[in-house]
Chain A
Amino acid sequence: MSSVPISQPPTRAQRITNIVFQKTCYGFAWLSIVLVAFIVLRIASAALPAMREYGLGFLTGTTWDPNEGTYSILPEMWGTIYSSLLALIIGTAFGVAVAIFLSEGYVGDFIFNTLKIFNLHFHKVWGKLPERAEQLLRNLIELLAAIPSVVYGLWGLFVVIPAIRPAAGWLHAELGWFPLFGTDLAGPGMLPAVLVLSIMILPTITAISRNSLTAVPSRLRMAAYGLGATRWETVLAVILPTALRGIFGGVVLAFGRALGETMALAMLVGNANKISVSLFSPANTLAALLANSFPEARPKDVGVLMYAALVLLAITLVVNIAGAAILQRASGEHDGART
């Protein structure tokens, strides 16, 4: 008989390693909290001198002129929120539509029914096609999120702006009295920025909406069909209301992303310091202001820019925490119907 035991109590060295490693992990957990706190504090402390100097007037004034030494960011705050809201309207309409399209399995059904004609729907290879096609479509939508925002900016400059300029010119000429079309589109402006922004937030909305739509217990759908409801009566009266909170959480998170999005806006929004409801007017956003001003900031401008960054941080933080809280409450709310 060999005397080597299958198991043994940990040696002294193993015990010490264990304690050291556990403490290290504990320390790193604290470190990541400290990091987040440090980020916020670093920005806040750098902004403090400017906050003392400019106070709340910084948030309500409309001029940004480093040469004169007057700084205020109302136009940028307006541009940030206006562009994000418009993008959110477009992004939500399309994002939820795509999520319904994916969760209802239209593509899979279509391919399944086509295969049925040829009696291949349970075939070893062909039978997998519906599932594969659905997967492919989901991945394509997710690809939209993988493309870096600077590439979207480049695409917006060379594709979106030339594409919408004729339509924008016509709308301004024919319907110029309507505030949304009040100015002409001279290159960069609000509309191209909003269109690109809505494409960038669409995957977020679609992914979260699809999750909440597929999380709706299937017995609810069965019950609606059993009562004679059509597909869309089921979707509108049963599935969407049940998934509403999750979808709403996704929309709020997408809003947070839109508020903080930088590159596409810095390239497309026109960087003009003005407040206008016109879709074709150039504007500016907080993130774009930071991106454009920081590289050439003089030491005395830095404090002011930090103040602007702090405002952006506060806005996005509130929106993101709200979105996360809504999603947290939405998850597991249908547990009763699932049993």
Chain B
Amino acid sequence: MSVENMAGNLSGQDFNPFQDVDFSQLERSLRRPRTLFSVLMSGLVTVMTLLALIPLFSVVWMLFWRGGRELSAASFTQLPPGPLEMGGGFGNAIIGTMIMVAFGSLISIPLGILTAVFLAQAPASSRLAQTVRFAAKVLTGFPSILAGVFAYGAVVLLTGGYSAIAGGVAVSILMLPTILLTTEDAIRMVPAKIKEAAIGMGATPTQTVWMVLLPTALPGILTGIMLALARGAGETAPLLFTALFSNYWAMQGGHLDLMQPTASLAVLIYNFAGAPFPNQVALAWAAALVLVLLVLILNLIGQSVSRRQVQ
């Protein structure tokens, strides 16, 4: 029995509430333009999504194909080669990246976390908290090259030379907003009853922060730190003219000199990518593979710790 007949039978003789309805319009069939349009659009976004994933797979494939075959133990232990030398590595660049990211963390982690503690406890109406949040958002969209320009103006010009310190300052500016905003979120996600229990036991606000809020929010905070480290390690623009580059080890004669130009993986990739020498280009790919793996591992660690946060 068709739908029309059923409707007719149900409604008696003189009144049919469905008499103006064209039931054929509700049929789902590819011959109907409406359905066809819907199916075609579904196909279109599927194809566009696949297209959007092509670059990712292409990048990863190229990194393993061109960088993977170049990677060896020497890559991690040797200094960058000159124009026509063979072999060589980027050991000093890996160490340089670590030094500068560590120095950036020294500034941005305490500043970010303590500011976030203030933000998370400030009343919603606090002008200062709103301004800080605004400042953090401004920093989030801050072009990385401008962090370099600032570090150049504030550190390089002041100390009279390119240095790891200047690079670290530039990196810290880029790490700060990530740490600040994720830490604030993590502290805010701590259930109010846990915090109230601490206050009810007579804990001072400081004891509540150190013994209850920060330990509970730790996974979230670690996620923020990992993401910030990943971002700091991958940034090139702020290092180009703050730490510059160096073909030598940062550690010389047994002591670490932070006041001299320092190599970093990102700048090495930039310098060697445009080089006319195949050996240097090959090293750029190997360094890119190492850098991407480093960034991905930091991201993955960050994501896996965040799942442990108490909800």
Contacts and interface: CB of A to CB of B under 8 A. Distances in A.
B149 A202 contact: no
B163 to A, nearest CB: 14
Interface in A1-36: 6-10, 14-15, 17-18, 21-22, 24-26, 28-33, 35-36
| Residue picked from B119, B136, B288, most chain A C-beta under 10 Å | B288
B292 A148 contact: yes
Interface string A235-279: 100000000000000000100110111110011000000000000
Nearest to A144: B56
Interface string A190-210: 000000000100100000000
A317 B138 CA distance: 7
B144 to A, nearest CB: 6
A56 interface: no
Given A262-B143, A290-B145, A29 B241 contact: no
A317 B114 CA distance: 26
B206 A267 contact: no
A150 interface: yes
Contact of A32 (B51, B115, B154, B207): B115
Contacts of A202: 52
- Chain B interface bracket (under 10, 10 to 19, 20 to 34, 35 or more): 35 or more
A143 B140 CA distance: 18
Contact of B117 (A15, A25, A141): A25
Interface stretch (A67-75, A92-100, A122-130, A176-184): A92-100
Mostly, the B contact residues are helix
A228 to B, nearest CB: 6
Contacts of A323: 141
Contacts of B147: 39
Contact of A316 (B66, B141, B202): B141
B235 A148 contact: yes
B149 A290 contact: yes
B237 A94 contact: no
Interface in A288-326: 290-291, 294-295, 297, 302, 305-306, 309, 312-313, 316-317, 319-321, 323-324
A155 interface: yes
Nearest to A257: B141
Contacts of B205: 18, 21-22
B237 A143 contact: no
Contacts of A158: 62, 66
A59 interface: no
B241 to A, nearest CB: 4
Given A42-B153, A151-B269, A261-B143, A295 B241 contact: yes
Contact of B128 (A30, A152, A159): A30
A144 B299 CA distance: 12
A309 B170 CA distance: 15
Contacts of B140: 320
13 contacts: A18-B206, A28-B110, A28-B115, A42-B154, A97-B44, A97-B52, A98-B48, A139-B303, A140-B53, A147-B292, A154-B284, A295-B244, A297-B241
Given A8-B202, A102-B49, 15 more contacts: A14-B206, A32-B112, A46-B153, A97-B45, A98-B48, A100-B45, A106-B42, A146-B234, A148-B266, A151-B59, A155-B55, A230-B28, A263-B270, A291-B237, A295-B240
A-B pairs, top 8 by smallest CB distance, nearest first, are A260-B143, A148-B234, A320-B141, A294-B241, A262-B237, A97-B48, A230-B38, A25-B118
Interface of B: 25-26, 28, 34-35, 37-38, 41-42, 44-46, 48-49, 51-53, 55-56, 58-59, 62-63, 66, 110-112, 114-115, 117-119, 121-122, 128-129, 131-132, 135-150, 152-154, 157, 173, 176, 180, 201-202, 204-207, 209, 230, 233-237, 240-241, 244, 266, 269-270, 273-274, 284-285, 288, 291-292, 295-296, 299, 303
Interface of A: 6-10, 14-15, 17-18, 21-22, 24-26, 28-33, 35-36, 38-39, 42-43, 46, 93-95, 97-98, 100-102, 104, 106, 137, 139-141, 143-144, 146-155, 157-159, 199, 202, 228, 230-233, 235, 253, 256-257, 259-263, 266-267, 287, 290-291, 294-295, 297, 302, 305-306, 309, 312-313, 316-317, 319-321, 323-324
